[in-house]
Amino acid sequence: MRDTVTKNWANLAELPTRTLDELFADPERVASYATTLDLLGGTIRFDWSKTHLDADLVAHFTRLAESCGFATRRQALFSGEKVNITEGRSVEHTAQRGVGNEESVDLAGVLHARMRGLVEAIHGGLLGEVKHLIHIGIGGSALGPALAVDALTRDGAMVDVHVVSNIDGCALEAAFAACDPATTMAAIASKTFTTIETMTNAASALAWLTASGVTDPYGRTIALTASPDAALEWGVDETRVLPFPESVGGRYSLWSSIGFPVALALGWDEFAAFLDGAAAMDRHFLETEGFDNLPLRAAFGDQYYTRLRGCQTRAVFAYDERLALFPSYLQQLEMESNGKRVTLDGQPVSGPTAPITWGGVGTDGQHAVFQLLHQGTVLVPVDFIASIQPGDALDPAHHRILLSNCFAQGAALMAGKTSDDPARAYPGDRPSATILCDELNAGTLGALIAFHEHRTFANGVLMEINSFDQFGVELGKQIANQIDTGGVSFDPSTEALLAAAGIGSQ
């Protein structure tokens, strides 16, 4: 299998590079490379026509996917096999949305019913007046909830949610300043219930509730975790521990009880629509073959730019203020999943793995970093994300100008412009993809996130890596612990920094 994969990559590398201009000579270009998916929340258009993918590349990438066992690995993922081989775990976030191994789907239903019970008890006033929730978690236990709450509650929320992740006390202090302790609950979100940032912030939140005169501060805490015993030991009452299975990875956990703040802010029906939107994308990914499979198509483009064109970064610009947190969510999803250097069988990878994901919102980015996209010396494939329906109720001119700018950027990157003055010339032939939702709502956001999860997995399959472990984050944590515990010496630079800050054993 390895030989065939190597040969397929070699064949891909030999294909001629055609310009976007040449590709658009085909009158069917848009029809062939832009596809709409009708989902529960509305239609989403995935336009990959302004990428360099062509029929030859697609045929070769399809062959590559076959040689990497794409269909088998996809089936293994959805059927609950232990696809995270380095940790010996299944990877079952899709079961949280009702798609996957039957037993896991049933268990997710039971756990969601428990979560719904607590959400509705709070909404019904059974836990006293609750106006604010401080959601404490980091990485996958924070980025998804922060994104979904920010994207979907612009018009108001049933409970005001503050997501706090950083160990820097300034983050928690900002949440304290915005909340009345008498009407605040704290959700401690941690798969392991050991993460130092989260546990330190949780202790400080408890201290704040106590110091503010809340009589039963532990009674105001909720645990969202795959380690319920640790949460009980910490002091959260069993009735407010919302578990999720070990097989749900941190950066894929938004659909489990980690999504509690989303359900609390939006109400259960909206949270269910969010899960359903993701489930519709799951079914598309599971049931569609080859190039018609949109996450796989996107992965073909990603691999083309990273491995065959040497792009070290990829940019994502949401022309939608509600998706301001989407790039940072994607950074963890893509870089923690696919920033790897060995294959599934422990061999060095044969080419670059995940590019650096970066981005922001349009039109802000145009006035800050787009200069480099248009005239810089590095090639950066860009994804634009937008919604046809506006999120605001102001003069429609706002949204019209927003969308015009979004589409203009893709057109400009591709077309470029000649000029006698080299400083004013644009090379053009720069790729972009556009994801255009009819409307941004719980369903389409769910589908959008699930699309990126599957795109990340598909990239991992094509690179023959395990997308589901993250050992690279451990060494720094260990050294921070050693510094905290003392008695270990480090390199002279680190020692000097520690001495300057008055930290460590010395």
In DSSP terms, 387 is beta-bridged to 437
- Residue from 67, 90, 198, 337 touching ligand F6P (CB under 6 A): that is 198
| Choice between 138 and 449, CB closer to ligand F6P | 138
- Cα four-point dihedral sign 482, 484, 485, 489: positive
CB of 199 to ligand F6P, least distance (A): 8
CB of 256 to ligand F6P, least distance (A): 11
- Residue from 190, 257, 357, 444 touching ligand F6P (CB under 6 A): that is 190
CB of 500 to ligand F6P, least distance (A): 27
User: Strand 221-225's sheet: what is its strand order?
Assistant: 160-164, 132-136, 184-189, 221-225, 241-243
- Distance CA(500)–CA(55), nearest Å, equals 60
- Distance CA(63)–CA(56), nearest Å, equals 11
**Judged by CB under 6 A, does residue 52 bind ligand F6P?**
no
- The contacts of residue 173 (CB under 8 Å, 6+ apart) are none
| Choice between 118 and 333, CB closer to ligand F6P | 333
**Judged by CB under 6 A, does residue 55 bind ligand F6P?**
no
Residue 477 appears among annotated catalytic residues:
yes
CB of 152 to ligand F6P, least distance (A): 21
- Distance CA(195)–CA(341), nearest Å, equals 25
CB of 195 to ligand F6P, least distance (A): 3
**Judged by CB under 6 A, does residue 140 bind ligand F6P?**
yes
Q: Are strands 42-47 and 432-437 parallel, antiparallel or unpaired?
A: antiparallel
Q: Encoding tokens for residue 190?
A: 């941690």
In contact, 282 and 99? CB cutoff 8 Å: yes
| Choice between 330 and 435, CB closer to ligand F6P | 330
Size of the site for ligand F6P (CB under 6 A): 14
**Judged by CB under 6 A, does residue 399 bind ligand F6P?**
no
**Judged by CB under 6 A, does residue 192 bind ligand F6P?**
yes
The candidate with the shortest Cα–Cα distance to 202, out of 184, 182, 186, 179, is 186
- Distance CA(187)–CA(205), nearest Å, equals 10
| Choice between 244 and 300, CB closer to ligand F6P | 244
CB of 148 to ligand F6P, least distance (A): 15
Work out the number of other CB atoms within 10 angstroms of the CB of residue 323: 25
- Distance CA(410)–CA(394), nearest Å, equals 26
- The contacts of residue 183 (CB under 8 Å, 6+ apart) are 128, 129, 130, 131, 132
CB of 198 to ligand F6P, least distance (A): 5
| Choice between 68 and 187, CB closer to ligand F6P | 187
Candidates 59-67, 190-198, 385-393, 436-444 — which segment interacts with ligand F6P by CB under 6 A? 190-198
The candidate with the shortest Cα–Cα distance to 18, out of 408, 294, 378, 304, is 304
Q: Which of 28, 238, 287, 367 is catalytic?
A: 367
For the window 289-328, what string marks contact with ligand F6P as x by the rule CB under 6 A?
----------------------------------------
For the window 364-383, what string marks contact with ligand F6P as x by the rule CB under 6 A?
--------------------
- Distance CA(291)–CA(289), nearest Å, equals 7
H/E/C letters for each residue in 424-452?
HCECCCCCEEEEEECCCCHHHHHHHHHHH
Residues in region 220-279 near ligand F6P by CB under 6 A: 250-251
The candidate with the shortest Cα–Cα distance to 337, out of 96, 165, 86, is 86
* SS3 label, residue 283: helix
Residue 102 appears among annotated catalytic residues:
no
* SS3 label, residue 387: strand
Residue 336 appears among annotated catalytic residues:
yes
Q: Which of 336, 340, 399, 452 is catalytic?
A: 336
Residues in region 325-344 near ligand F6P by CB under 6 A: 336
- Distance CA(49)–CA(35), nearest Å, equals 10
Widest CA span of the chain, in angstroms?
75
- Distance CA(482)–CA(488), nearest Å, equals 6
Candidates 90-98, 171-179, 189-197, 394-402 — which segment interacts with ligand F6P by CB under 6 A? 189-197
Residues in region 120-139 near ligand F6P by CB under 6 A: 138-139
**Judged by CB under 6 A, does residue 191 bind ligand F6P?**
yes
Q: Which of 7, 131, 477, 495 is catalytic?
A: 477
Total residues belonging to the chain:
506
| Choice between 194 and 371, CB closer to ligand F6P | 194
- Residue from 8, 67, 141, 338 touching ligand F6P (CB under 6 A): that is 141
| Choice between 23 and 199, CB closer to ligand F6P | 199
| Choice between 354 and 435, CB closer to ligand F6P | 354
Question: What string of DSSP letters covers 17-81?
Answer: P--HHHHTTSTTHHHHHEEEEEETTEEEEEE-TTSS--HHHHHHHHHHHHHTTHHHHHHHHHTT-
| Choice between 291 and 329, CB closer to ligand F6P | 329
**Judged by CB under 6 A, does residue 67 bind ligand F6P?**
no
Residues in region 470-489 near ligand F6P by CB under 6 A: 470, 473
User: Which active-site residues does the annotation give?
Assistant: 336, 367, 477
Given the rule CB under 6 A, which residues bind ligand F6P? 138-141, 190-192, 195, 198, 250-251, 336, 470, 473
